[in-house]
Structure 1
Amino acid sequence: MSSVDKSSSKPFLSVQVIVLFQVLWAMLALLFFTLFGVTARGEDHPMWYSVGTLILESMAFLIAWILCFRNWRSPQIVSGRSVWFNIGMGMLFYFIGGLLFSYWELVLKRNPAVSPGDFFYILTYIFLLIGMVQVVFSRRLNLELWQKGVIVAIAVVGIAIALSAAGKPSQGTAWQWIEAPAYAQIVPATKPVQSPAAPLTAPSPVVTAQPAPEVPAFVESLEQLLQPLEASVQMYYLICDVLLLVLATTLLLAFWGGRFSQSWRMIAIAALFLYIADMAFKFATRDPNYQSGGWLEVFWVFSGVFFGIGAALEYDLSVRSRRSSSRRRA
């Protein structure tokens, strides 16, 4: 089989099927978060809900990585394979980071300020920003004055929101309970005070303390090792979010028209959803009663879905473009 025949072979799933599945996944996530994401004040999310949010978010980024990996392996991709390698690595690292974060939270019942999952989230932003910068600078931008003004205005607004999100909450943090001894919610043993006239044989109800869950020693050691990095990690996230917002806006303006603009509009929207989810989470965790898994976190699922849609559209457009060129040469 010639190289032209190989390039003309149809993929296992058409782009229409992939996009439809992605859209249905986003709708399922929206329904799940909306119907079950709000609980009464003081109540925790059930375990099945937390596992459901993990599956919805993780699968969105895993599928996005698979589609980006397909683009990286294909020599037909017009935008360049290295671009999709970097974006794909960002999706993969986000997937791994989410699994580690959920293991720490759901299995170990811990929620430290900095966890091993943050290491992979940091790598996510590095590779994702590199990929988006490659796209922006590979296209010879000739933005008009009003477009540059829009980018500057968006950057100023993004910085203002990030600085506001970085402010200290008024009363504690969302994970204030972690500061209790042994990372457990302790209910102190209490005994009601008896009056002198009360009979000595009167029962004295005692509320026993809840035992702390057993945690491997390396977990506590690792958390103590990472604790001093909290301020640096949080500042890193805020800076990357602002850069992500600026690059997403630039992509929308640079790829507003043209044959290959549709896929990059999806990537830009995915980056915007990632920024919205991060900022919403930062503001939400200022509430001492906030629980992980709130309905605003659905924007993380939307981000993974749109990254996948952008990758699928880019692959389809590149393959069809090469087919058209082959027919013209024939």
Structure 2
Amino acid sequence: MTKAKSPSPSGISTQSIIWAAIGWAALALMFYLFLSAPTDGPYTIKPEDCAKAIKDVNVRPNWYRLGTYIFQTVAIVASGLLCLRNWRSSKIISGRNVWLGLGVGILSWGIGNLIFGYLDFQYQSGLIAAGAKGAKDLVVTFPSIADIFFTTTYVFLSWGMAMSVVGRRLNLYPKQWAIVGAVGVFGLIVAAYVTFGVGGGFNLDTGKILNIVYALGDIWLLIVATILLLAFWGGKAAQSWRLLGSAGISMFISDLWFNYSINSSEVCEGKQYQSGEPAEFFWILAFVLWGMAAALEFDLSSRPTTRSRRN
């Protein structure tokens, strides 16, 4: 990492931001790995669409689920603000639209995530409270109003990531373009399997359409991430672009795992999706990496003299 200690307008050095981001990601990883077991219960529940009650169901405790949203929200807010700081700065040499797209997309995801979290808490609380009698008229977590913000996220993230490569002299070798193509095909196959194979065929209801939109957005993020990693491999001046690429891959992993968990859940067999899966850590990692990239780019652009970079 860069050894830059130049202070930001808030008085916090870039190095402090980087170490804080790494520390937050490490704490989040330990939280997910060691505390994610469903220890609350057992309960007897009867979801609305199920003919029989389900016994001996354990769920993740509310304090743990609340903790996951705290870890996510702090990473989202910090990362989004760092990206928007770059957009507002006239010194940024990499193109301010990149950071506008990322900042708006990240903060939009945060709003959607908080709405989804509220609905998720309401759903599980209502399900447990109803017990074996059967829950009725529970809130719907997917699709919901939160998906408006998640869809907005993909629009802006896709635009921001696209701006990071459009108009630049990437100079990739044919072998590298072949790698990009192979990664894109791999992402398409995995996304298609999760969306249609695990997701129960080609019936196009609202949820399926949203899953397709999210899958296409994830594939695009994966392709751009691969281009960034191949084009900017090596050199301190390219650190921010490598972090952007790594964030895109992390987002792809977490989103596809979430869709897989939703599509493979069997509510009436006691195998329903529960928030707080360890794979959700990759969301936090993605936001942390975007924030670190923004901080490094701001530091590099704020120096009196900057090294030439590959444009």
Which interval holds the TM-score relative to the shorter structure?
Answer: 0.7 to 0.9
1:38–1:295 CA contact under 8 A, matched in 2: no
CA 128–166 in structure 1, closer or farther in 2 if over 3 Å, else same: same
Cα pair 2:98 2:160 within 8 Å, conserved = yes
Deviations 1:135-184 (A, max 9, x none): 1013112210110110011011101100111135499xxxxxxxxxxxxx
Which residue matches 2:96?
81
Q: Match for residue 138 of structure 1?
A: 167
Structure 1 residue 42 and structure 2 residue 57: aligned?
A: yes
Matching residue's letter, 1:155: G
Q: Which amino acid aligns with 1:119?
A: I
Partner residue of 2:127? none
Match of 1:319 in 2: 302
Q: 3-state SS of the aligned residue for 1:28?
A: helix
> Are 1:95 and 2:110 counterparts?
yes
Shift of 1:132: 1.1
Look up the SS of the partner of 1:42 in the other structure: strand
The residue that corresponds to 2:285 in the other structure is 302
Quote the RMSD (CA, aligned, Å). 2.0
Check if 1:276 corresponds to 2:253.
yes
1:30 maps to which residue?
A: 29
Spell out the pairing of 1:81-160 with structure 2 (5 A cutoff): 81-107=96-122, 109=124, 110-160=139-189
CA distance in 2, matches of 1:244, 1:50: 27
Give CA deviations for 1:95-119 in whole Å, capped at 9, x if unaligned. 1111111111114653433111111
Please report how far the alpha carbon of residue 260 of structure 1 lies from its aligned counterpart in structure 2 after TM superposition.
2.7
User: 3-state SS of the aligned residue for 1:315?
Assistant: helix
TM-score by length of 1: 0.75
Match of 1:248 in 2: 225
Asked if the contact 2:38/2:61 (under 8 Å) is kept, the reply is: no
C-alpha distance in structure 2 between counterparts of 1:152 and 1:299, whole Å: 24
Aligned letter for 2:117?
S
- Given that 2:211 and 2:259 are in contact with CA atoms closer than 8 Å, whether structure 1 keeps it comes out as no
Return the alpha-carbon distance in structure 1 between the equivalents of residues 86 and 224 of structure 2: 21
* Equivalent in the alignment of 2:234: 257
Q: Deviations over 1:307-329 (max 9, x none)?
A: 10010000011111xx127xxxx
Q: Unpaired segments of 5 or more residues in structure 2?
A: 1-5, 40-55, 125-138, 307-311
User: Larger Cα Rg: Structure 1 or Structure 2?
Assistant: 1
Aligned mates of 2:142, 2:160 — CA distance in 1? 28
What is the aligned partner in structure 1 of residue 265 from structure 2? Answer: 287
Number of aligned pairs?
A: 261
Identical pairs, percent: 38
The match for 2:211 is 234
Matched, 1:71 2:92: no
Maintained 8 Å contact 1:165/1:283: yes
Q: Describe the SS at the equivalent of 1:136.
A: coil
Deviation at residue 273 of structure 1 after TM alignment: 0.5
TM-aligned CA deviation for residue 81 of structure 1: 1.5
How far off its partner does 1:80 sit? Answer: 1.6
Tell me: CA distance 1:10–1:281, structure 2 relative to 1, closer, same or farther (3 Å). closer
Q: Contact between 2:162 and 2:224, CA under 8 Å: does it hold in 1?
A: yes
**Higher relative contact order (CA closer than 8 Å, sequence separation 6+):** 1
The match for 1:202 is none
| Letter matched to residue 302 of structure 1 | L
Residues 1:140 and 1:56: Cα distance change in structure 2 (over 3 Å): same
**CA drift at 1:228:** 4.7
